[in-house]
């Protein structure tokens, strides 16, 4: 596929570059691992490979980018038009109903997203429906054991936290109970490693809480 000059940089940090570009006249998202810092390149390649595996297993799912290519250096995925959650601030009950269905479909395919606390990973498409992006730390093993169920529940709880932010009146009693009982590993994370994670994410990668955007590295 031949690229054009119609390329827009979305993010550039220690893990490489993410660009909106065109291939054969079609808009695609390109993740360039070759642009990663030398010390982060192995991690960036593993993360991209994980994303490629997840997208391959989710082929045909509406609301998930299509995997267009992965060659060990460049990952191409389909472009989904829409705005990130923190910009669109969805308050329609239908959005969260459809988001729950999308999440259930991921889990039926044996995929746990693992990064749904970040609002930018949720899109509000032009028709108001949800979409998910950024599967770099997704669970892709497919086995649905106890750990899978634990992580899947955290996927759900993070979605419900967003629903509480933008559409709290639509929360059911069961959903409020889920929000009130985080998994043990989530409580341990907040009590121990979360501060260290935030320090590393902010100082090294330039990430800030719900922004989910890496700094543009010169």
pLDDT tens-place string over residues 157-177: 999 999 999 999 999 999 999
pLDDT level of residue 195 (50, 70, 90 thresholds) = low
pLDDT value of residue 206: 55
Provide the phi-psi class of 114: left if phi over 0, else alpha when psi is between -120 and 50, else beta. Answer: left
Q: Is 75 a residue whose pLDDT tops 90?
A: yes
Q: Is 209 a residue whose pLDDT tops 50?
A: no
pTM, entire model:
0.84
Percent of all residues in the chain with a pLDDT value above 70, rounded to a whole number: 81
pLDDT value of residue 152: 94
Q: Is 120 a residue whose pLDDT tops 70?
A: yes
pLDDT value of residue 31: 97
Pick 96 or 11 by higher pLDDT.
Answer: 96
Q: How large is the average pLDDT for residues 111-136? A: 97
Q: Which residues on neighbouring strands pair with residue 74, listed in sequence order?
A: 32
Rounded to whole angstroms, how far apart are CA atoms 101 and 176? 18
pLDDT value of residue 186: 54
| DSSP state letter for 25 | T
In the Cβ-directed half-sphere of 56, how many Cα atoms lie within 13 Å?
12
pLDDT value of residue 216: 38
Helix (H, G, I), strand (E, B) or coil at 17: strand
Q: Give the range among 12-16, 123-127, 132-136, 159-163 with minimum mean pLDDT.
A: 12-16
- Token representation of residue 125: 């498409």
């Amino acid at each position: 596929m031949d690229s054009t000059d119609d390329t827009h940089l979305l993010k550039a940090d220690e893990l490489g570059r993410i660009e909106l570009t065109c291939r054969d006249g079609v808009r695609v998202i390109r993740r360039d691992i070759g642009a990663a810092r030398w010390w982060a390149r192995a991690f960036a390649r593993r993360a991209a490979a994980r994303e490629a595996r997840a997208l391959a297993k989710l082929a045909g799912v509406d609301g998930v980018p299509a995997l267009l290519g992965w060659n060990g250096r460049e990952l191409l995925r389909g472009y989904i038009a829409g705005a990130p959650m923190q910009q669109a601030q969805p308050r329609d009950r239908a959005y969260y109903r459809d988001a729950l269905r999308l999440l259930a479909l991921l889990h039926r395919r044996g995929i746990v997203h693992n990064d749904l606390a970040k609002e930018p990973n949720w899109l509000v498409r032009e028709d108001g429906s949800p979409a998910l992006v950024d599967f770099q730390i997704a669970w892709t093993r497919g086995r649905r054991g106890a750990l899978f169920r634990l992580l899947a529940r955290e996927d759900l709880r993070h979605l419900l936290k967003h629903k509480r932010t933008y559409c709290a009146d639509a929360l059911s009693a069961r959903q409020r109970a889920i929000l009130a009982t985080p998994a043990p590993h989530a409580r341990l994370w907040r009590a121990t490693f979360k501060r260290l994670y935030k320090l590393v994410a902010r100082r090294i990668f330039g990430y800030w809480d719900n922004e989910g955007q890496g700094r543009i590295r010169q």
